[in-house]
Amino acid sequence: MPNGQEDPAVSGQDDAGARTLFDKLWDAHIVREESADTPAVLYIDLHLVHEVTSPQGFDTLRARGLPVRRPDRTLATLDHSTPTTPPDANGERHYFTPQAKSQVQQLERNCDEFGVRLEGWGSQQRGIVHVMGPEIGATQPGMTVVCGDSHTATHGAFGALAFGIGTTEVGYVLATQCLLQRKPKTLRITVDGRLGQGVGAKDLILHIIRTIGVNGGTGHVIEYAGEAIEALSMEQRMTVCNMSIEAGARAGMIAPDQKTLDYLRGRPLAPRGEAFEAAAERWLALRTDPGAEFDREVRLHADDIAPTLTWGIDPGMSVPVTGTVPAGGAPGTDRALGYMGLEGGQALLGHAVDIVFVGSCTNGRISDLREVASVLQGRQVAAHTRMLVVPGSEAVRRQAEAEGLHEVFLAAGAEWREPGCSMCLAMNGDLVPPGKTAVSTSNRNFEGRQGPGARTLLASPLTAAACAVAGKVVDPRDFLPAPAPKREAA
């Protein structure tokens, strides 16, 4: 690339014509243009790191005697392998395996050696990487964000280009702050109308995945748009973008707007004062220009979306809560029905639930916990059902405890845990036992995802809470409105 070439994102859009949000971010991060022979060299503004996918990346640096190029653009946390039970009286944490403990210690050593900021044990900001980043204002509109984690798309809710990478690429970004990338295609999903009562962001994204398929977004970056998307809160937008990968898309994004600015103002790592106002102006200009073209467009209506649960073994196998699972006959369907212990054509309503898991980078934020508490308030988790509530971060935990939500959970008979990924991928010892059915607010219902033989129904926090109370699959709309909190005075 010639020296001093103007950055199209900054010099104005007239020459390039109408551009999408994605185009603007892509153009602004090109270090070296792609050609027939080589992919683009793409600059990464924020590299998030956790203990599971980073050790071999740091080893690459060590083997070559390289430093981390930009420790100031690198931020690490502990989330996947960490226990969610509190330390014992001696302050000792009980890891699931010695290997889990040594993996955590390895990241502590790596961050120390390479000068990377780690929100580790004892940090008031530690959390699931995709909950923490936005919370502390590290995630900002217009950024490129990567992490060795496929749910990195979460950060796209801020109008960032955010996607998951492998461990070899973690090493590349540590060493050079860059990645080699071919430009993906663009897909706009427009959702008209407003979601109904009791229908949430999780139902919306499960509906989208079912509609376009688990491979519907392959090769594409999704931009979510339309009235229903604009009406979502930032936390709800994160839920939607988070699961883009479950439709095959590495990244999903939403244009920054006033809600984005309101969320970011005052966050520890967000710009302050005049710098914030200047940044805000640039951020709002990122939205897709009128007339900009996408490679593909999909249009949906919010009226068609009901509370939705998965019944099978991929996130596209879902039905409205009042629906029936497919009849058997196809090999994929039969395998799923068999694994899940379901009869082809049966209703989902009334299906017994052994475990309810509330948490994860999809639905472990404060608004999710408030929804759950609104259902559990004054009610009990069914006797045969175990319920785990795992906050997404230390900040979520503090806020929930300040609002007394944990007391609602505990009074209802649920467990209130320490922050982490927990039962979403069950590598820290929080497992669904073989053959048991769990309703989970997490993101994947793959065979064995929540433990060998575990059967997962993905659902919204509201649905999960209602199912916990009933001990079976129920329609969360029957649990609205929540009982008035001042009932004790009566």
Residues 160-179 that bind other proteins (CB under 8 A): 163-169, 171-172, 175-178
Whole-number minimum distance, CB 480 to other proteins, in Å? 33
Whole-number minimum distance, CB 466 to other proteins, in Å? 27
Restricting to residues 235-274, which ones interact with other proteins according to CB under 8 A? 245-246, 248-250, 271, 274
Whole-number minimum distance, CB 240 to other proteins, in Å? 18
Whole-number minimum distance, CB 246 to other proteins, in Å? 8
What is the 3-state secondary structure of the chain? CCCCCCCHHHHCCCCCCCCCHHHHHHHHCEEECCCCCCCEEEECCEEEECCCCCHHHHHHHHHHCCCCCCHHHEEEECCCCCCCCCCCCCCCCCCCCHHHHHHHHHHHHHHHHHCCEEECCCCCCCECHHHHHHHCCCCCCCCEEEECCHHHHHHHHHCCEEEECCHHHHHHHHHHCEEEECCCEEEEEEEECCCCCCCCHHHHHHHHHHHHCCCCCCCEEEEEECHHHHCCCHHHHHHHHHHHHHHCCCEEECCCCHHHHHHHCCCCCCCCHHHHHHHHHHHHCCCCCCCCCCCEEEEEEHHHCCCEEECCCCCCCEEECCCECCCCCCHHHHHHHHHHCCCCCCECCCCECCEEEECHHHHCCHHHHHHHHHHHCCCCCCCCCEEEECCCEHHHHHHHHHCCHHHHHHHHCCEECCCCCHHHCCCCCCCCCCCCEEEECCCCCCCCCCCCCCEEEECCHHHHHHHHHHCECCCHHHHCCCCCHHHHHC
Q: Is residue 154 at the binding interface for other proteins, with CB under 8 A as the rule?
A: no
Whole-number minimum distance, CB 96 to other proteins, in Å? 8
Whole-number minimum distance, CB 33 to other proteins, in Å? 11
Restricting to residues 58-87, which ones interact with other proteins according to CB under 8 A? 59-60, 64, 66, 69, 80-81
Q: Is residue 278 at the binding interface for other proteins, with CB under 8 A as the rule?
A: yes
In the list 74, 77, 103, 239, the residue contacting other proteins (rule: CB under 8 A) is: 103
Measure the CA–CA gap between 135 and 223, rounded to whole angstroms: 22
Nearer to other proteins, 36 or 489 (CB): 36
Q: Is residue 13 at the binding interface for other proteins, with CB under 8 A as the rule?
A: no
Restricting to residues 288-347, which ones interact with other proteins according to CB under 8 A? 314, 331-332, 335
In the list 53, 244, 260, 393, the residue contacting other proteins (rule: CB under 8 A) is: 53
Measure the CA–CA gap between 249 and 251, rounded to whole angstroms: 5
Restricting to residues 173-212, which ones interact with other proteins according to CB under 8 A? 175-178, 180, 182, 184
Whole-number minimum distance, CB 452 to other proteins, in Å? 6
Pull the structure tokens for residue 414. Answer: 């649920």
Nearer to other proteins, 4 or 291 (CB): 4
Q: Is residue 284 at the binding interface for other proteins, with CB under 8 A as the rule?
A: no
Nearer to other proteins, 1 or 484 (CB): 1
In the list 13, 16, 27, 56, the residue contacting other proteins (rule: CB under 8 A) is: 56
In the list 27, 32, 265, 334, the residue contacting other proteins (rule: CB under 8 A) is: 32
Q: Is residue 468 at the binding interface for other proteins, with CB under 8 A as the rule?
A: no
Q: Is residue 214 at the binding interface for other proteins, with CB under 8 A as the rule?
A: yes
In the list 71, 120, 193, 219, the residue contacting other proteins (rule: CB under 8 A) is: 219
By rule CB under 8 A, what string of x and - marks binding of each residue 402-441 to other proteins? -----------------------xxx------x-------
Measure the CA–CA gap between 182 and 219, rounded to whole angstroms: 10
Whole-number minimum distance, CB 440 to other proteins, in Å? 14
Beta pairing partners, 355: 386, 438
Binders of other proteins: how many residues, by CB under 8 A? 80
Q: Is residue 38 at the binding interface for other proteins, with CB under 8 A as the rule?
A: yes
Whole-number minimum distance, CB 224 to other proteins, in Å? 18
Q: Is residue 106 at the binding interface for other proteins, with CB under 8 A as the rule?
A: yes
